[in-house]
Amino acid sequence: MAASRKLRRLKRRSEFLAARNGRTERRKSLLVQAVRRAEPAGDWIGDGYTATKKIGHSPARSRAKRRLREAARLLLPELGEPGVDYVFIARGVTGGTDWAALLDDMKSALISLAPALGAPRDPS
């Protein structure tokens, strides 16, 4: 069942800003912002990645985002909620954090967000 969940990359600035108004979970190596979409959910999960210049120069930001993308690729189909957009924000230590620790941080954040983003209420 979880394998049928598709990921859709967030590309527009408005999608990233919308996630800012949702729930946020902070961990040592990343921040995760999540918001349920207003339009019909479908069976896909939105994912976006960002790293500010505080992280470092372009290679450091790129490495941090690559690591976040790979971790999300492994964890979102299982732990993400369909109809929800997730924005993963790199922190200063994201690029150098042990891979297992990064996965643990992301898994912990996604599990903590799940109850707050539960299935939408039936309008009837």
Could you tell me the domains of the chain? 2-110 (3.30.230.10)
* Distance in angstroms (rounded) separating the CA atoms of residues 19 and 17: 5
Mean of the pLDDT values across residues 74-91?
93
Contact call for residues 47 and 34 (beta carbons, < 8 A) = no
* Residue of 39, 113, 30 lying closest to 15 (CA atoms): 39
pLDDT in tens, 13-58: 999 999 999 999 999 999 999 999 877 667 789 999 999 999 999 9
Q: Using the 8-state DSSP alphabet, how is residue 56 labeled?
A: -
- Is 115 a residue whose pLDDT tops 90? no
Mean pLDDT in the chain?
88
